Amino acid sequence: MKILCVEYNESGDSTIVPVGDDVLLRNNNDFYIPEFTKNISCIPQFVVKLNKLGKCVGSRFADRYYNEFAVGVRFYADDLVDELLEKNLPPVAGYSFDGANALSVLRDFRQDAEFTFYVNDVVEYSMSMPLNIDEIVSFASEYHTIKIGDFLFCGGRFRKKKLKRGDSIKVQVDNEILLDFKIM
Residue environment code for 56-70, b if the CB has 16+ CB neighbours within 10 A, otherwise e: ebeeeebeebbeebb
Q: What is the pLDDT of residue 130?
A: 54
Sequential pLDDT tens for the chain (184 residues): 999 999 988 888 899 999 999 999 999 999 999 999 999 999 999 999 999 999 999 999 999 999 999 999 999 999 999 999 999 999 999 999 999 999 999 999 888 888 899 999 999 999 876 568 999 999 999 999 999 999 999 987 899 999 999 999 999 999 899 999 999 9
Q: What is the pLDDT of residue 171?
A: 97
Which domains, ranges and CATH numbers included, belong to the chain?
3-182 (3.90.850.10)
Strands (E), 134-175: 151-155, 160-163, 168-173
Q: What is the pTM of this model?
A: 0.95
With beta carbons less than 8 A apart as the criterion, state whether 33 and 106 touch.
Answer: no
How many whole angstroms separate alpha carbon 157 and alpha carbon 65? 25
Q: What is the CA radius of gyration of the chain?
A: 16
